[in-house]
Copies of this chain bind each other. A is one copy, B any other.
Amino acid sequence: MAVNLFPPAAADLKPVAGVRLGVAQANIRKPDRKDLLVVSLAHDATVSGVFTKNRFCAAPVQICKAHLDAVQRDALSIRALLVNTGNANAGTGERGYEDAMATCTMLAALLSCKPEQVMPFSTGVILEPLPVDRIIAGMPFAIDDLAEDNWLDAAEAIMTTDTVPKAASRVIQIDGKTVTVTGMSKGAGMIKPNMATMLGFMATDAKVPQALLDTMLKRATDQSFNCITVDGDTSTNDSLILIASGKVDPGIVDENSPAYAALQEAITSLAQELAQKVVRDGEGATKFMTITVENGVSREECRRIAYSVAHSPLVKTAFYASDPNLGRILAAIGYADVEDLDVSRLNLYLDDVWVAKNGERNPEYREEDGQRVMQQSEITIRIDLARGNDAVTVWTCDLSHDYVSINADYRS
């Protein structure tokens, strides 16, 4: 039950020149579903990635980082991405590393490139060996399927407990040139800052130098995937990739290039949409909540408070119940570990309703106003710390019976 989230129409997902996608049914965990994706990139595409900070980062994440370094060192480029669902190849040790490398080597042979030009991605159950044979057997079918207009199929192929495929496009004009950015994501549970069992792939046909692409991805991530949480868990496999195929040259050399801001804005906006789709499809989600903490003395304190509220099971169940139990929000602010927080200056709003004033119940607050807002499927919680100029926004969802059912059932 996703919150105001619908599958994109295939026609709304604009092809990105130089980026072809092909899917296959490889029977990795479940039969009769697309579970393998190959993305083939034009020569000289630049690729940037950000990855999970989990200490148990999975074998494919380690290899992605190593291969990004290797192609830059050897003046090569990434030529393909390989994505499977059903198995995360995490907690699998040395064998997991060798298994992931075997899939890279085989795809490289099929595409006539070097193994280091392939980036592997896996999502699914942890601690179980990767079914390398089935992945390799599926590769030719995925390669046969390669096409630039295949984004919707690809978005479906990377789903796990997602209920809706997630993809979107941005098309902008720069100096009379049309630049496209298209992306897709998958998520569901285990979503949090530093990302989670979350995969995101974005591609633009613009030509962007490597260092600038890295900057663009980092800025977009900080305002998108690093601002979402479903259940506070962070996975071993999270990866977000930005590809620039170089087929269109809008003349972006550095941050001072006239076109830079427009492309950054398109990429950030797309990343935000893809990240919010992940939350809207959070496991069991019935409500989409935007939590804004403003007028703090630092972004760090705003972030701590925002996540303290976003992760509180008591807050999340109150939203599920449409119960304006505002004390739970105040309590979560109070234990956010912000050392010298003066709660007597704090204001709290639910959408347009001023709920807490100077740290206590607003005398003019009426319960029925709170209840009216809580009925909505989209709610903004605004926390005014009244002591500085920094602000942070995070997005999250509620905690429902279905969250428990889904996660109590995931492996069955």
Contact = CB atoms under 8 A, between A and B. Distances in A.
Contacts of A88: 327
A63 to B, nearest CB: 16
Given A338-B55, A359-B93, A331 B236 contact: yes
A66 interface: no
B341 A55 contact: yes
A263 to B, nearest CB: 32
Interface stretch (A198-206, A216-224, A309-317): A309-317
Contact of A408 (B53, B318, B343): B318
A299 interface: no
Given A190-B331, A232-B313, A404 B407 contact: no
B343 A56 contact: yes
A314 B92 contact: no
Given A233-B335, A334-B56, A360-B93, A125 B313 contact: no
Nearest to A355: B127
Interface-centre pick from A54, A91, A338, A411 (highest chain B CB count, 10 A): A91
Contacts of A125: 325, 327
A28 interface: no
A126 B330 contact: yes
A336 B56 CA distance: 10
A104 B313 CA distance: 34
A234 interface: yes
Contacts of A343: 55-56
Contacts of A328: 126, 233
Contacts of A235: 331
Interface string A323-345: 10111101111111010010110
Interface string A53-76: 111110000000000000000000
Given A93-B358, A325-B411, A410-B325, A403 B331 contact: no
Nearest to A312: B233
A360 B126 CA distance: 10
A194 interface: yes
B189 A232 contact: no
A192 B359 CA distance: 23
A231 B336 CA distance: 15
A313 B233 contact: yes
A117 interface: no
Nearest to A360: B93
Contact of A327 (B127, B318, B361, B404): B127
Nearest to A230: B313
B126 A314 contact: no
A344 B333 CA distance: 36
A311 B229 CA distance: 15
Contacts of A411: 323, 325
Contacts of A321: 407-409
B360 A92 contact: yes
Contact of A407 (B90, B95, B314, B334): B314
Interface in A386-412: 399-401, 403-405, 407-412
Given A236-B327, A401-B401, 11 more contacts: A54-B331, A55-B341, A56-B330, A56-B359, A231-B313, A233-B331, A234-B331, A317-B403, A323-B408, A325-B411, A400-B404
11 contacts: A54-B335, A90-B331, A91-B330, A93-B360, A125-B325, A127-B326, A232-B311, A233-B332, A234-B334, A313-B403, A318-B408
